[in-house]
């Protein structure tokens, strides 16, 4: 900031590096909640991002500069969210030390826990809890995050090439937690005060086009995170492949029809569906049912893995879904049945006060897709 600049420095903008879209959210201070003043997205150039990682820095950088131009953001500072199967998140037990000691110690110990060579990794570690070990010695649980240095460098380069200033690199997974963590009560059971002291876990699942993020939180603290490439595009692609339709046609079937109601009557074919697609409704639905079965199995594997490590939690009874993929008709009911857990649709906008300048209809439509970018922007308000 220059010497004579006036006014508050703008808060950094949350930037979600997706595989299909780059999305950004700008918040401003507000009371009682931060104000959502602007958001926007731009299509990722074909091939520039592969499974969450920027591989074409030039093309990605150009797209980001276009996004800033068209959306008219008033800050160049950004908090970047990354999501990739190659980012490792592990909960590990270590002898107790304080956070400053941990920063040094982790460099030596991380190799035991991560598959990436330490020299090639950027490592971060946060103390999550303290406990007593077998011999009554003080121990701590640490959430270890390791990302391939190349991946992070590419992301930073693309952002810088767009003339932006990266402030923080975060995980999309942690952003989702922030955007759903309305208040602590959200993560406590509603069954009355007695239960509220018991530890409970919730799984947050963000389904976008190219990747799905799965995070498990206990009392609002993330303890497990995984990324799977099984996401919205797979549903569309499966319909397109099986029925010999274009991707766009399959997308239209998916979004307008969705899954059939469980045990319910077949609903009338949506009238806004083009005639050439109407004949495919039933076939598309059974393809979607099948795909959703795979998806649920994938989620179950992740949650089971988490449960083998969890000490106080025996099952996950609560799931919150976000990402536009969560809009699939009847999806929640299928997940509830498949995982025997209560499913809610997340509401990231509860965290903010939207500016009256943003058309409410548009915002309501986009809400689920903003979970990551909004959660990133929230980081500087906590
Ligand atoms: N009504 C709907 N029913 C089913 N799926 C939907 C619906 N609306 C959107 N989707 C799906 O949601 C996905 C897009 O989700 P979202 O907008 O969160 O991700 P994105 O930002 O485009 O993707 P990425 O983060 O991978 O770049 C697409 O697969 C799209 O088909
Ligand atoms: Mg996205």
Q: Are residues 330 and 187 part of one domain?
A: yes
Q: Count structural domains, the chain.
A: 2
Ligand 1 within 6 A of 52 CB? no
Give the number of the ligand closest to the Cα of residue 207: 1
Nearest listed ligand to the Cα of residue 212: 1
Question: How do the pLDDT tens digits run along the chain, 382 residues long?
Answer: 344 444 456 899 999 999 999 999 999 999 999 999 999 999 999 999 998 999 999 999 999 999 999 999 999 999 999 999 999 999 999 999 998 999 889 988 899 999 999 999 999 999 988 999 999 999 999 999 999 999 999 999 999 999 999 999 999 999 999 999 754 455 554 444 444 456 789 999 999 999 999 999 998 889 999 999 999 999 999 999 999 999 999 999 999 999 999 987 777 888 899 999 999 999 999 999 999 999 999 999 999 999 998 878 888 989 999 999 999 999 999 999 999 999 999 999 999 999 999 999 999 999 999 999 999 999 999 8
Q: pLDDT per residue over 307-352, tens digit each? A: 998 878 888 989 999 999 999 999 999 999 999 999 999 999 999 9
Within-domain flag for 171: yes
| 210 touches ligand 1 (CB under 6 Å) | yes
Q: Tell whether 314 is covered by a domain.
A: yes
CA of 234 to the centre of ligand 2 (A): 15
Global pTM exceeds 0.85: yes
Same domain membership, residue 298 and residue 161:
no
Give the nearest ligand 1 atom to 52 CA.
Answer: 26
Residue 227 forms part of a structural domain: yes
Q: Which ligand is nearest to the CA of 327?
A: 1
Identify whether residues 323 and 357 lie together within a single domain.
Answer: no
Whether residue 366 lies inside any domain: the answer is: yes
Asked if 241 and 282 sit in the same domain, the reply is yes
236 domain residue, yes or no = yes
Q: Does residue 306 fall inside a structural domain?
A: yes
Q: Any idea what the CATH number is for the domain that residue 40 is in?
A: 3.30.420.40
Distance 368 CA to ligand 2 centre (A): 10
Q: Is residue 369 in contact with ligand 1, taking CB distance under 6 Å?
A: yes
> 107-117 burial, b for 16+ CB within 10 Å, e for fewer?
eebbeebbebe
Q: Are residues 325 and 288 in the same domain?
A: yes
CB contact at 8 A, 209 and 18? yes
Å from CA of 83 to ligand 2 middle: 10
Q: What is the CA radius of gyration of the chain?
A: 22
CA angle 173, 122, 94 (to 5 degrees): 80
Ligand 1 site, residue 324, Cβ cutoff 6 A? yes
Q: Is 251 in the pocket of ligand 1 (CB under 6 A)?
A: yes
Instruction: Answer yes or no: are the C-beta atoms of 202 and 187 closer than 8 Å.
Output: yes
Clarify whether residues 200 and 342 are in a common domain. yes
- Calculate ∠ Cα 178-50-366, nearest 5°: 40
Indicate if 364 and 273 belong to the same structural domain: no
Q: Are residues 240 and 174 in the same domain?
A: no
Distance of alpha carbon 271 from alpha carbon 266, whole angstroms: 14
330 — alpha (psi -120 to 50), left (phi > 0) or beta?
left
Joined together, the tokens standing for residue 113 give 């826990």
Q: Whose CA is nearest to atom 1 of ligand 1?
A: 255
Question: Residue 56: which residues within 8 A CB-CB, separation 6 or more?
Answer: 45, 47, 48, 49
What b/e readout covers 195-206, taking b as 16+ CB neighbours within 10 angstroms? eeeeebbbbbbb
Residue 35 shares a structural domain with residue 49: yes
Domain presence at residue 229:
yes
Q: Indicate the SS3 state at residue 281.
A: helix
Residue 318 parent element (H or E)? strand 318-322
Identify whether residues 265 and 198 lie together within a single domain: yes
Taking the C-alpha atoms of residue 190 and residue 73, their distance in angstroms, rounded to an integer, is 39
Return the pLDDT at 1.
35
Residues of the domain holding 66: 13-83+152-178+350-381
Does 124 reside within a domain? no
SS3 113: coil
Same domain for 327 and 219? yes
Query: What's the pLDDT at 66?
Result: 98
Residues 125, 140: contact at Cβ < 8 Å?
Answer: no
End-to-end CA distance of the chain: 22
Residues 205 and 307 placed together within one structural domain of the fold: yes
The confidence score (pLDDT) of residue 268 equals: 82
């Amino acid at each position: 900031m220059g010497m004579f600049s006036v006014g508050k420095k703008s808060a950094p903008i949350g930037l979600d590096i997706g595989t299909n879209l780059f999305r950004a959210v700008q918040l401003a201070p507000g009371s009682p909640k931060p104000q959502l003043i602007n958001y926007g997205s731009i299509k990722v150039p074909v091939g520039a991002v592969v499974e969450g990682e920027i591989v074409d820095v030039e093309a990605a950088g150009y797209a980001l500069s276009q996004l800033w131009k068209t959306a008219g953001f008033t800050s160049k500072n950004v908090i970047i969210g990354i999501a990739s199967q190659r980012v490792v998140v592990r909960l590990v037990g270590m002898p107790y030390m304080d956070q400053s000691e941990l920063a040094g110690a982790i460099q030596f110990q991380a190799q035991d826990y991560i598959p990436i060579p330490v020299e090639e990794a950027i490592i971060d570690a946060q103390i999550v809890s303290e406990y007593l070990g077998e011999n009554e010695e003080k121990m701590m649980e640490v959430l270890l995050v390791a990302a391939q240095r190349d991946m992070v460098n590419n992301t930073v380069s693309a952002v810088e090439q767009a003339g932006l200033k990266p402030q923080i690199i975060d995980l999309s997974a942690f952003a989702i937690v922030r955007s759903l963590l309305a208040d602590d009560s959200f993560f406590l059971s509603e069954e009355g005060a007695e239960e509220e002291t018991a530890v409970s876990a919730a799984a947050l699942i963000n389904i976008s086009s190219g990747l799905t993020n799965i995070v498990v939180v206990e009392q609002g603290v993330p303890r497990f995170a995984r990324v799977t490439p099984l996401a919205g595009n797979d549903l569309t692609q499966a319909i397109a492949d099986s029925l010999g339709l274009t991707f766009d046609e399959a997308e239209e079937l998916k979004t307008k029809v969705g899954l059939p109601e469980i045990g319910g009557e077949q609903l009338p074919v949506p009238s806004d569906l083009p005639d050439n697609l109407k004949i495919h409704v039933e076939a598309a639905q059974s393809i979607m049912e099948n795909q959703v079965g795979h998806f649920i199995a994938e989620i179950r594997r992740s949650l089971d893995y988490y449960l083998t490590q969890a000490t106080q939690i025996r099952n996950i009874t609560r799931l919150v879904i976000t990402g536009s993929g969560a809009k699939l008709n009847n999806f929640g009911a299928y997940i509830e049945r498949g995982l025997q857990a209560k499913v809610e649709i997340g509401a990231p906008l509860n965290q903010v006060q939207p500016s009256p300048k943003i058309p409410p209809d548009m915002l309501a439509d986009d809400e689920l897709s903003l979970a990551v970018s909004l959660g990133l922007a929230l980081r500087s308000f906590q």
